[in-house]
Amino acid sequence: GIDSHIHFIAPQQIEEALCSGVTTMLGGGTGPATGTFATTCTPGPWHIERMLQAADAFPMNLGFLGKGNASLPAALHEQIDAGVIGLKLHEDWGTTPAAISNCLDVADATDTQVAIHSDTLNESGFVENTIAAVKGRGICAFHTEGAGGGHAPDILRVVGEDNFLPSSTNPTMPYTVNTLDEHVDMLMVCHHLDAGIAEDLAFAESRIRKETIAAEDILHDLGAISMMSSDSQAMGRVGEVIIRTWQTAHKMKGQRGWLPPAGTGADSAEHSARNDNFRAKRYVAKYTINPALAHGIAHEVGSIEVGKWADLVVWKPAFFGVKPFTIIKGGSIAMAAMGDPNASIPTPQPVHYRPMFGAFGGSLHRSSLTFVSQAGLNAGIGERYGLHKTLSAVKNVRGVRKQHMVHNGYTPKMEIDAQTYAVRADGHLLVCEPATSLPMAQRYFLF
């Protein structure tokens, strides 16, 4: 799996993610710093060098995003030359139309991606102004529903734009009876707000809307939101990308029934009750091939193909999506569920995840990748920084559009009522009930 929205707040996140079946993490940060708590940016060449050096220690493919909020291109080129795979525009630093345009100019010149967290308060413009500032260029839209941030209340408008590559973060997925209550508190902490200040509370409440959160589930099922990610420790849980994806698929099957393959004209009368294969393919693509395509790493990871990196997750069917049996990195077993090492047999219980030989020594450096920019690779950052992992440059980024998102390229006309928050896609009102129970939850973690 690939998680493309990581706040690198703590290195322990990487082990947690690997144990969940994630083998590639993309994002930004410098550790438990105020900026990293809120934004996925690794700012400036010095921090970029240190994070790339730290990446050598982990059996995980890693790539870092620089800080994209700048008025002039020089500071952005400096970061891309230092090795970041793209740039992150975040409202906490001021995602103005000028910053958006400047950042995308640099991305176009360097074949790197831009990820955007737009302006919740609409201080520097509305969603229409952001769409206009992008000028039809490709861009990754994070937490597109808006609870994680973005133009309130209608950031979902971008789901209808072919050049926006939309993703969700996992705390709103799927919509449950507890979703709204936990989100206000999470938001207050992650964005350094004070519940005693009326304006701060109003800001938080403007982002948490049951109507758009409910619509998000259906937009995933329609293939209109293309990717899933975590937003680790900044309103998201790093070990639950895969779990939340399949919980959403389960909820949608229960509420919307069998999903016919796109473009076949099949309906529910023709389906087999023994499978829901197209829905399975649609949802697995959300955390595998689609984020790989969006960030220019699909030549290395994202699917099982000859010539790609052998990152594989093996599941026992009873625990699919919850607890992997074995995680293979670059062809070597890097993590597995194991019992007592002093046992006389290899299968004692209880078990917990332990690093395997692929996670140690020189094997670690040869079983995982560090993704960098082509400019950084050309500048010899591997030798300059003393890196040991294999470096791979992102490529073919700027031409990626929604239509390239596998099984998730639907681009409906989106309408969001500014007063009621009602969401319509191609004229259809998107409404669903919150889940009261979910599979793949606490019963799987009793031992």
**Who's near 225: CB < 8 A, 6+ residues apart?**
144, 145, 159, 166, 167, 168, 216, 219, 408
Give the count of beta carbons closer than 10 Å to the beta carbon of residue 382. 18
3-state secondary structure of 186: helix
Q: What are phi and psi of 304, to 5 degrees?
A: -95, 100
Which of the following is catalytic: 7, 191, 295, 404?
191
Q: What share of the chain is helix, strand, coil (3-state, %, to 5)?
A: 40, 15, 45
Strand positions, DSSP E, 241-400: 312-314, 326-329, 332-338, 352-355, 369-372, 390-393
The kind and range of the H/E element at 166 are strand 164-169
H helices present in 311-357, as ranges:
none
Helix (H) or strand (E) holding 285: helix 277-285
191 is catalytic: yes
Side-chain-side CA neighbours of residue 364 (13 Å): 16
Count other C-beta atoms under 10 Å from residue 231's C-beta.
30
Interaxial angle between packed helices 198-207 and 179-190, expressed in degrees from 0 to 180 and rounded to the nearest 10: 130
Q: Give buried/exposed letters for 417-442 (b at 16+ CB in 10 A, else e).
A: eeeebebbbeeeebebebbeebebee
Give the position of tokens 């701060």.
200
Query: Residue 444 has which token pair?
Result: 């799987």
Compute the distance between CA of residue 148 and CA of residue 96 in angstroms, rounded to an integer: 18
For the annotated catalytic residues, the residue numbers are 191
